[in-house]
Structure 1
Amino acid sequence: MSLPNDPLSSSVDPEFIEQSVGYQMRRIVNLMASEVDHRMEPLGLTDAQWRPLLRLFLAPGQESTVATLARGCQLDAGGMTRLLDRLETKGLCRRERSQEDRRVVNLALTDEGLTAAAQLPDLLMDVQGIALDGFSDAEAAQFRKYLARIHENLAKRLVPSGGE
């Protein structure tokens, strides 16, 4: 029961949360992640594990250290190290000392990792296709522009360091 003059009982629309952009985006991300997780099961991968595999697959040599891969996957180096330990145990990637600088450890996909990673783009595009079902190509392109604008707006105001 609210008290008279209670600021929380003001004229806030009860559907405020459901209509907010952040809430809607979170719902979409959660649903897409659930579908991706379901499709990753046959590959033996979790939501967290496919991301570094895909980045190593799409940009071999460019994101080959723990630090660069962690930045690309938006994880801290410690979290990425633990994740890579699991991927290495599964036989999907390996660590190799750099020939140019022995202090640097590079990451590479194994043959098994390449096989798994090669399936990821099509799998992810299928999930995206489900999400965009019923959108025309023009609508999908416009939607991507809106998302990019939201990201740009938030990045320049909330994350001055340029983080994702």
Structure 2
Amino acid sequence: MTPVKPTVLDSFYTGELGFMVTSVRGAIHEALERELAPFELTTPQYVVLNCLAKGWGRTLSDFCRVLAYDSGAMTRLLDRIAAKGFIRRVENEADRRSYLIELTEQGQAALPRALAACDVAMRRLLTGFSEDDAQTLHKLLSRVLINAKTD
């Protein structure tokens, strides 16, 4: 009897999906690190600046959720970005126990260069993708995220 060859879906069930997603995340991180290095920005620092620019977060806990960092690690990261002059902490009028993060003028000036570096990295990673490929990738990754939230 000929053994049944496992399907791709079978391999995903046994961990290949997690391995692939982790590998892709690592490749994205490395590509961004290479492009951001001339600006003395790391990928996590860029993510914080980009989130601020897009209005996706302003508090320590916002950034902890985005980067999956604990509050201690995020505080240290914010300290390093602030030391570079890209962000500042301001009083949070709604909650005196916390503060809000905002871009400085220097951070606003650095952002277009960092965005352009990100664009270069992402275009390289998506070389050979058609618009249909990109739409399919988006649709499938979105479905995985939706399924993850329904557990």
Aligned partner of 1:72 among 63, 66, 79: 66
Q: How many angstroms does 1:119 deviate by?
A: 2.6
Which of 85, 91, 95 is residue 89 of structure 2 equivalent to? 95
Size of the alignment, in residue pairs? 142
Q: Which structure features the higher share of helix residues?
A: 2
Aligned 8 A contact 2:48 2:63 in 1: yes
> 2:26 aligned with 1:30, yes or no?
yes
Cα distance in 1 for residues equivalent to 2:113 and 2:145: 28
Deviation at 1:12?
A: 9.8
Give percent identity, aligned residues only. Answer: 27
Alpha-carbon displacement from aligned partner over 1:98-125 (angstroms, at most 9, x marks no partner)? 3565444111111111122233333223
Using the alignment, how far apart are the partners of 1:81 and 1:75 within structure 2? 9
CA deviation after TM superposition for structure 1 residue 79, in Å: 1.5
Mapped to 2, the partners of 1:101 and 1:23 lie a distance apart of: 40
**TM-score calculated relative to the size of structure 1:** 0.74
Report 1 or 2 for greater relative contact order, CA contacts < 8 Å, sequence distance ≥ 6. 2
Instruction: For 1:54, give the aligned amino acid.
Output: N
Taking a change above 3 Å as real, the CA distance of residues 101 and 30 of structure 1, as seen in their structure-2 partners, is closer
Give me the whole-angstrom Cα distance separating, in 2, the residues matched to 1:86 and 1:57. 18
Match for 2:44 among 26, 30, 48? Answer: 48
**2:78 is aligned with 1:84:** yes
Q: Secondary structure at the match of 1:107?
A: strand
Which residue number corresponds to residue 126 of structure 1? 120
CA RMSD in angstroms, aligned pairs only: 2.5
Distance in 1 (CA, whole Å) between partners of 2:132 and 2:51 is 28
**2:132 is the alignment partner of 1:138:** yes
Question: How far apart, CA to CA, are the structure 1 residues paired with 2:21 and 2:66?
Answer: 21
Q: CA deviation at 1:42?
A: 0.8
Higher alpha-carbon Rg? 1
TM-score normalised to structure 2 length? 0.79
In structure 1, distance between residues paired with 2:23 and 2:97: 43
Distance 1:101 1:147, change over 3 A: closer
